[in-house]
Amino acid sequence: MSDSRWSVANLQPKIENFLRPVLRAAQLSLDFQVGDGSAMDPNFEQPDVTVQFHGRDLDLLLANKGELLLALEQLTLEALRARPDEHTRLMFDAQDYRLLRLEELRLSAETAAERVKRTGVPFKFNPMTSRERRIIHLALRGDKGVRTESEGLAPRRQVVIHPAAKGSS
């Protein structure tokens, strides 16, 4: 995914010029560092650029499943005029929340898949973001005993794990 538009050198000043006034206006005691995405698990996430937050208001940033963190990420993507297919190229994180969430989703997917294979009954996850749904799909892509699909419309879109069709391989 090497594209100079999505380099740290290109995006850092744009991200700083957008986020600093937003954080100041919101009176949030947060700072951030813009870096490359090399610390992520390449099987699930491969952002070109990450923004790592720190500061006194991290609890607010990560409350309600990281709702504010994700909102700031979305607003920044909009400010950068990122197309939907480019949204995975930038990722916000704090205290490894996103890495831990990735692992939680992967383990949940594997546990749900085992249940579906054992019972033959489809399993529906609660609604989640497109990025989180993608992690579920990727976590189970090699499991021949189940198949996954997304159902519904955003923001209520969810992943359903089904038993694999008989005779499919």
Non-local (6+) Cβ contacts of 71 within 8 A are: none
Q: Are strands 158-163 and 146-151 parallel, antiparallel or unpaired?
A: antiparallel
pLDDT at 167: 56
The one-letter amino acid at 123: F
pLDDT at 42: 63
Spatial contact of 92 and 53, defined as CB atoms under 8 Å apart: yes
pLDDT at 1: 44
Provide the residue-wise pLDDT of the chain in tens; the chain has 169 residues: 457 789 899 999 999 999 999 999 999 999 999 998 776 666 667 889 999 999 999 999 999 989 999 999 999 999 999 998 888 899 999 999 988 888 999 999 999 999 999 999 999 999 998 888 999 999 999 999 999 999 999 889 999 999 998 655 4
Q: Are strands 49-54 and 31-36 parallel, antiparallel or unpaired?
A: antiparallel
pLDDT at 166: 67
Instruction: Please give the helix or strand (H or E) that residue 40 lies within, else none.
Output: none
Paired tokens of 89: 């190229």
Q: Which residues of 3-40 are buried (b: 16+ CB within 10 A; e: fewer)?
A: eeebeeeebeeebeebbeeebeeeebebebebeebeeb
The one-letter amino acid at 56: R
Predicted TM-score of the model (pTM): 0.79
Spatial contact of 136 and 125, defined as CB atoms under 8 Å apart: yes
